[in-house]
Structure 1
């Protein structure tokens, strides 16, 4: 059974440390680590969190390994993702993937970002069909096009 994500003290501290490193351009979460800034759906204020952007099938993807968290709600309300790491800044329009499109991305993601594997019922390397069952619990967004 997959673990449930809880944003406790240790996770908050880790996010602060990783966020500070990413802001300075240090690849703390590997080459896939970025800071994602979204517009708060209720407050309208900027919200920033560390994420991993993975490449798969010729596209770049944002995966929510911990479920429908705040940044997911924010992207659903306004599908614009601002990514940065050090001096690198990108702004993308995003599109949420349906279950069929999300399944192979989730499988790839768990293989790339192994620290998130305990939050999935499907094991790394499991058939894509097992990840299709996970798609409703782990939203996936494609970086569709640069935002204008």
Structure 2
């Protein structure tokens, strides 16, 4: 069975608006590690904000794009700065994109923590990290490297 392809339809847009509204107010979403990520648009230079989940693996924090090469991924590759916020909490990080071997365990941990994303992966939650590393090119992973507080 092949992984589902992500499409930002009306339902997902509605969910994103509701989640973002909660996160702006600092209200946690059950089972989520949600933050609002603001990046600088690679073409316009305008700020772009989207809800994301940050996972902790191996004592480090990671941004994962379970839905692939989405807008924030392109923006963060152009300007390796992640501005994360939730309520009154604000953090600014320099990020580094992980190679496939490093991304594998992070992707596996992400799918286990947020099983709603599992249909977008060919690897299953119980598979070894190598199975996730094999599809790391379709699910970019970024380490929150240095705080720029």
- TM-score band (shorter)? over 0.9
Q: Which residue of 2 aligns with 1:78?
A: 79
State the shift of 1:128 in Å.
Answer: 1.2
Equivalences, count: 148
Residue in 2 aligned with 1:123? 124
Residues 9-44 of structure 1 deviation map (CA, whole Å, 9 limit, x = unaligned): 000000000000000001125451000000000000
Corresponding residue for residue 145 of structure 1: 146
TM-score by length of 2: 0.97
> 25-34 or 5-14: which moved more?
25-34
Q: CA RMSD in A?
A: 1.0
Question: Quick one: distance in 2 between partners of 1:31 and 1:120?
Answer: 19
Gaps of 5+ in 2: none
What is the alpha-carbon distance in structure 2 between the residues aligned to residue 98 and residue 92 of structure 1?
A: 19
- For the residues of structure 2 that align with 1:27 and 1:116, how far apart are their CA atoms? 19
Q: What TM-score does the superposition give when structure 1 sets the normalisation length? A: 0.97
8 A contact 2:101–2:130 mirrored in 1: no
For residue 136 of structure 1, give the secondary structure of its aligned residue in structure 2: helix
Q: What runs of 5+ residues in structure 1 fail to find an aligned partner? A: none
After TM superposition, give the deviation of residue 147 of structure 1 in Å. 1.9
Matches within 5 A, 1:1-148: 1-28=2-29, 30-147=31-148
For residues 80-131 of structure 1, give each alpha carbon's deviation from its aligned partner in whole angstroms, at most 9, with x where no partner exists.
0000011111000000000010001001100001110000000012111111
DSSP-derived class of the 2:8 partner: coil
Asked if the contact 2:104–2:132 (Cα under 8 Å) also holds between the matched residues in 1, the reply is yes
| Comparing 128-137 and 60-69, the one that deviates more | 128-137
Misfit runs of 4+, over 4 Å? none
Conserved 8 A contact 1:4-1:66: yes
